Chain A
């Protein structure tokens, strides 16, 4: 894996895996500032307790000031909470309030005990209908694509998520059985896949590489093994991969 130009939030020894998504830059920045703001509060409060423990009893020297100091500290904390709420809200809104742009590519993510499947809509840019009653992994139809639906004829189903560098992707999250958690640490992305719901999340990969995809919601005995790979490749390599798979599917 090539050295990544962008590094994750790292404060002393607090480290996240290197970020590889466009929105992750801001997420890491925010995480860093939050940790940087709260770590001194933690240290100061603990020091305060130790100071109180070793201090001999003092008469009311500080009494006149302490009330004021307490108020000021409270005001400072409230200001910090407000700052946190506003900045984080801004980022959340950018990431989640609006859907992906019209140019984004679509991939469907389907969770099933204990496997991730990724479906590409093919040349027609439309997903064929999938029916639970037709699901038959042994017969090569793990998602239950309906052969009657022509839109599904060119759909590509993969167990690896392959994405082109720098293009926004709109993920369509589903689950066949129980709740799973779709988590790509390097993309700073996590959303549950919920049976009965189709959920959308979007992101843009900005670094070529191979990244683990995990399940973050306990889903049964194979939960810890429910993992897959995300491969971010150059647009050319992506086109090649797509053609190769399209050929396999057209057989």
Chain B
């Protein structure tokens, strides 16, 4: 049991990743049930029966909540950072090891509380991961909006605390625990990303926590922050104060948009490191790339209104948010062009971690390019809440995020277990996943352009029929099933390689950053993070832990 109640940063990092694995398994299964139900609404679910409309919405809500909070926030931010970051800056531990353990256990508790929502009367909440009031504020507004919604709110409140503590710890560690010589311009790009996401987490999870407390108070203590006067739900007047549902949208999206960057910035940092490593090239414009990560983080705080173009927000505000959103495309483009030019000289070592990093880039571009379309209110007023948006964020946030997680796992696996993961299985896993992910999410753009809204559990309604996109939808579901099945290869590879995998030599990827430094060595950093140089016919690289004298 001692390994469970540990305060070691590596052990806690692993625990975080296991928590994310549990969440991603549940979240994926939920999405598969959704995909199958959309095509065959009359087919009963084994051990459950016919899926009711509210069941479908509960699946959507729980899928989104699990994936956004417990996978895309937990794994890249808390998980990998706990696992790798202290070693990467030459620290022995996190600044507050016990706080780190506490943060993990809070996250685990939040996960269990969320799962409990499936088992209370009326089941899980149905208002989506964004929980717009009054639907989320009034228990009688729908099934699952009673006990299920309360559990959702408590779970996310606990998760906010967890993220907050984790971010305080991360920030303190990066600011105070760097080893001698680890100056700002020698930080690996991953650490820059974790620095920015920690600051974002501190700012925006505080706001989310406040919003959740207000909503909880509306539900139980008779306040009226989000419910307007005279609101009539299910035949009863419930609005006695003078609240505004739009207030929730502002508070939620002030959190919700930076949350996207919390999910994807660590992947951007990791991709930069891996591109440098597997192309054996220095990162040109390191300072610019790091600066752009910071710029994306800062601008990310100013764009939340682009989720609200058609929410009833003042149209002039829509213009302002459209401009800030378009502005954020610029640093993102700088990053992408930086990577493309870094890669363009070829000679890449296409090991599995590199393949997944390239997959990350591919998805980041595919999903990123529809960003400027959705940033235009005039176009968003058609595309908002259609499958076009679902396609956009699943590519740029979910697939890019998950592929960077895979890259990290394949890359750091030998560091953690001392063994390599199977390259053959890894490559099969990569190619099937890449093709199936595109097969799943690219056609969703077409459904969205056809006008198909999100959160619809069937394609035919009283006034409309989306039967023309049925073939498209079938393709999406088949691809999604293939995508999920391909992950079994990954799970097997992980389990098998941890026990029987080829023994890894020290620093198997010939990396330069400090997590690969030999143990027990006193470290004094004298060089930048990406000194991969090529002299004619004789590849050389200089790890950060090697002293300058060896350079000659």
Selected contact of A85 from candidates B142, B376, B449, CB within 8 Å: B376
- Is B232's CB under 8 angstroms from A58's CB? no
Chain A residues whose CB sits within 8 angstroms of the CB of B534 once the complex forms: 57
Q: Are A225 and B461 also in contact (CB < 8 A) when A89-B319, A179-B135 are?
A: yes
User: Does residue A125 face the partner (Cβ distance < 8 Å to B)?
Assistant: no
B432 beta carbon closer than 8 Å to chain A = no
- Most chain B CB within 10 A, of A66, A216, A217, A224, is at A224
Query: Is A235 at the interface (CB under 8 A from chain B)?
Result: no
- Minimum CB–CB distance for B248 against chain A, Å: 10
The docked-state distance in angstroms from the alpha carbon of A30 to that of B462 is 31
> Which of chain B's residues 327-351 have a Cβ closer than 8 Å to chain A?
329-330, 333-334, 336-338, 340-341, 343-348, 350
The interface residues of chain B lying within 8 Å CB-to-CB of A112 are: 232
| A45 on interface, CB distance cutoff 8 Å | yes
B379 touches A191 (CB 8 A): no
**Within 8 Å CB of A222, what residues of B?**
53
> Does B315 reach chain A (CB closer than 8 Å)?
yes
Q: Does A102 contact B (CB under 8 A)?
A: no
A70 touches B463 (CB 8 A): no
- State whether B312 touches A84 (Cβ < 8 A): no
Contacts of B315 in A (CB 8 A): 92-93, 96-97
Residues in B neighbouring A224, C-beta threshold 8 A = 53, 455-458, 461
Query: Complex formed: what's the CA distance from A197 to B365 in Å?
Result: 38
Name A88's contact: one of B132, B141, B379 (CB within 8 Å). B379
B501 within 8 A of A: no
Tell yes or no: B256 within 8 A of A by CB. Answer: no
Determine if B57 and A195 form an interchain contact, defined as CB atoms under 8 angstroms apart.
no
Bound-complex Cα distance A189 to B384 (A): 10
Contact check, B369 vs A38: say whether CB atoms are below 8 A apart: yes
Q: How far is the CA of A212 from the CA of B466 in the complex (A)?
A: 11
Cβ–Cβ < 8 Å partners of B382 in chain A: 16, 27, 31, 185, 188, 190
Residues from chain B with a CB closer than 8 A to the CB of A176 are 231-232
- B344 close to A66 (CB less than 8 A): yes
Are A92 and B377 within 8 A (Cβ)? yes
**Interface assignment of A141: CB less than 8 Å from any CB of chain B:** no
Query: Which residues, 73 to 99 on A, are CB-close (under 8 Å) to B?
Result: 73-74, 77-78, 80-82, 84-85, 88-89, 91-93, 95-97
B43 at the interface (CB under 8 A from A): no
Complex contacts, B227 vs chain A, CB 8 Å: 195
Task: Decide: A221 and B57 in contact? CB cutoff 8 A.
Answer: yes
CA distance A137 to B348 in the complex (A): 69
State which residues 346-379 of B face A: CB under 8 Å: 346-348, 350, 358, 361-362, 365-366, 369-370, 372-373, 375-379
Known A-B contacts A30-B379, A217-B132, A218-B135; A55 and B345 likewise in contact (beta carbons under 8 Å): yes
A196–B322 CB distance below 8 A: no
B362–A49 touching, CB < 8 Å: yes
Name B377's contact: one of A88, A133, A183, A217 (CB within 8 Å): A88
Contact B462 A27 (CB under 8 A): no
A220 touches B340 (CB 8 A): no
Residue of A nearest to B386 (CB): A216
- Assess whether B462 is in contact with A227, with CB atoms less than 8 Å apart: yes
Could you tell me which residues of chain A, from 45 to 67, have a CB within 8 Å of some CB in chain B?
Answer: 45-46, 48-49, 51-58, 60, 62, 66-67
Q: Verify if A214 is at the interface (C-beta below 8 Å from B).
A: yes
With a 10 A CB-CB cut-off, give which of A51, A81, A213 has the most chain B CB atoms: A81
**A208 surroundings in chain B (CB, below 8 A):** none
Q: Are A88 and B376 in contact (CB under 8 A)?
A: yes
Chain A residue contacts of B377, Cβ below 8 A: 88-89, 92, 96
**Stretch of B15-23, B113-121, B239-247 contacting A (4+ beta carbons < 8 Å):** B239-247
Report which of A34, A51, A92, A216 forms a contact with B385, defined as CB distance below 8 A. A216
* Interface flag for A132 (CB, 8 Å): yes
Chain B residues with CB under 8 A of A220: 54, 57, 126, 135, 141-142
A23 nearest CB across to chain B (Å): 9
* Complex A-B: 30 CB contacts under 8 Å: A31-B379, A34-B372, A38-B369, A52-B344, A55-B344, A67-B284, A82-B326, A84-B326, A92-B322, A92-B376, A95-B381, A96-B377, A132-B230, A176-B231, A177-B134, A178-B132, A179-B245, A181-B384, A183-B453, A188-B381, A192-B312, A195-B227, A197-B228, A199-B312, A212-B464, A214-B463, A218-B60, A220-B126, A222-B53, A225-B462
A residues engaging B (CB < 8 A)? Answer: 9, 13-17, 27, 30-31, 34-35, 38, 41-42, 45-46, 48-49, 51-58, 60, 62, 66-67, 69-70, 73-74, 77-78, 80-82, 84-85, 88-89, 91-93, 95-97, 112-113, 131-133, 135, 173, 176-179, 181, 183, 185, 188-192, 194-197, 199, 212-225, 227-229
Q: In the complex, given contacts A27-B378, A89-B376, what are 19 additional A-B residue pairs having Cβ atoms less than 8 angstroms apart?
A: A17-B451, A45-B340, A52-B340, A52-B343, A62-B345, A66-B344, A80-B372, A92-B319, A131-B230, A181-B384, A196-B244, A197-B244, A212-B464, A214-B464, A217-B132, A218-B126, A221-B52, A221-B54, A221-B142
Pairs A-B, 6 closest by C-beta atoms: A57-B347, A196-B228, A55-B346, A88-B376, A185-B451, A212-B464
